[in-house]
Amino acid sequence: MRTVLAREMGGCSVLGRIWGVWRRRPGVRAVPKAPGFGTEAGHRLRPGGSSKRSRPQPFPGLLQLENLGREELVDVLRAAVVDQKGKPGELTLFSVLPELSQSLGLGDQELQVVQASGKETSGLVLLSSCPQTASRLQKFFIYSRRAQRPTANYCAVTDGIPATSEGKIQAALKLEHVDGVDLVIPVKSPSRKDFQEGVKRTLSHFHVVAMGSGCALVQLQPLTVFPSQLQVHMVLQLCPVLGDHTYSARVGTVLGQRFLLPAESTKPQRQVPDEALLRRLCLTPSQAAQLPLHLHLHCLHLPGMRPGEAPMKLLAPLPSYFSRTLQCLGLHQQ
């Protein structure tokens, strides 16, 4: 976790934060700098909070939230701030925002989330202590989506290599409650009634950055917003994101050929990499069952904070477990 930016905008602070993943087994992933990524956010994470581990951790940089108290989590967040200009129930990011505001010296100003990735995705979370700034940024993101101008770049490691080096993925998706879990289901040839009942058209761009060991490092740019959009889009390419224990089961293999299984009848299950991939990752099958999702919100493009200022971008260094995976697979950014 780390604040990469805090700048004044009309007396208000905009805080760009790198956060780890909020998983089903609650955890916060710290994201130290990795070679080739996040060179503009080159500050190392300072120690904060506590992490009690009785055995070696196969995924470096992963902190277990259940080992942190409320005050310790606030301390970790405060220690993650690397730059700040301007005015100084369940344990979640949202529940500790009031304490974090006080800890940062923001007084009565309440922090609110402006932009965030999915709960299992690492990377940037954009916070603002100013309602006017938050409103302006939200309007910027809405306008950019309507203009089909990407504002977010994700890094993903995929199990499998896309058939083409770059392209776009379009799919109609719906959210369905199945066995007590909300799952995203692709809809073929949706009707007008489908769209009236909540089906959405989704679009993402992808670019393969590197390939090796049957895997790929892929840059993803969503141009629409839908839960788990990028994970489902990569499954439709027969290349599930590494560590996707929800949707990867929809990709089947027979005699080395991959195919899609019916989304409606395929239940989520732990991703099971093949033996060759396990050897490259130096993981046991039980460790692979806890493999974190390798999907990271690496970059956000934002407008200038003051009139006349040039646009800027926030960069989040990769989590250390992500960097370790790249090294094991011989994947390097071009």
The 10s digit of each residue's pLDDT in 285-303 is 999 999 999 999 999 999 9
Confidence of residue 78 (pLDDT cuts 50, 70, 90): low
Give 332's DSSP letter: -
How many beta carbons lie within 10 A of that of residue 210, not counting itself?
Answer: 17
Total residue length of the chain: 334
CB 90, CB 10: distance < 8 Å = no
CB 158, CB 239: distance < 8 Å = yes
- Where are the CATH 3.30.2350.10 domain residues in the chain? 150-333
Q: Tell me how far apart the alpha carbons of residues 284 and 55 are, in angstroms, rounded to a whole number.
A: 15
CATH hierarchy code of domain 150-333: 3.30.2350.10
The C-alpha angle 27, 32, 38, rounded to 5 degrees, equals 120
The tally of CA atoms less than 13 A away on the side-chain side of residue 174 is 17
Q: Tell me how far apart the alpha carbons of residues 197 and 195 are, in angstroms, rounded to a whole number.
A: 5
Q: Tell me how far apart the alpha carbons of residues 253 and 234 are, in angstroms, rounded to a whole number.
A: 16
Which carries the bigger pLDDT value, residue 282 or residue 57?
Answer: 282
Which carries the bigger pLDDT value, residue 101 or residue 257?
Answer: 257
Two tokens, residue 218:
């892929």
Two tokens, residue 13:
């602070």
Which residue type sits at 169? Answer: I
To the nearest whole percent, how much of the chain has pLDDT over 90?
A: 55
Residue 17 has what pLDDT?
Answer: 42
Distances (CA, A) of 86 to 215, 286, 299: 44, 48, 23
Q: Tell me how far apart the alpha carbons of residues 99 and 130 are, in angstroms, rounded to a whole number.
A: 16
pLDDT digits (tens, 9 = 90+) for 163-202: 999 999 999 999 998 888 899 999 999 999 999 999 999 9
Two tokens, residue 221:
């740019």
